[in-house]
Amino acid sequence: MIAPTQNKHAGYSSTYHDKKAAQYYQKKFSRSLSSRVSSAREKLLVAKALRAAGRLAGQKTKDLTILDYPCGAGRFATLLASRTAGYYAGDHSPHMVELAAQTLSDHGMADSLLGTTVGDIKANTLADSSVDLAASIRLLHHFPDRADRIAILSELRRVCKGQLITTFIDANSIKQRL
pLDDT tens-place string over residues 124-147: 889 999 999 999 998 988 888 899
Instruction: Determine, yes or no, domain membership for 22.
Output: no
**Using CA atoms, how far apart are residues 22 and 19, in angstroms rounded to an integer?**
5
Tell me the residue range of the domain where 86 lies. Answer: 30-177
**Domain annotation covers residue 25:** no
pTM of the complete model? 0.83
Number of domains into which the chain is organized: 1
Q: What CATH number is associated with residue 88?
A: 3.40.50.150
> How is the chain split among helix, strand and coil, in percent rounded to 5?
50, 15, 35
* Eight-class DSSP state of 75: T
Q: 11-25, 26-40, 62-76: lowest mean pLDDT where?
A: 11-25
The C-alpha atoms of residue 50 and residue 53 are separated, in whole angstroms, by 5
Give the span between the Cα atoms of 88 and 157, in whole angstroms.
Answer: 15
Q: What is the mean pLDDT of residues 41-47?
A: 91
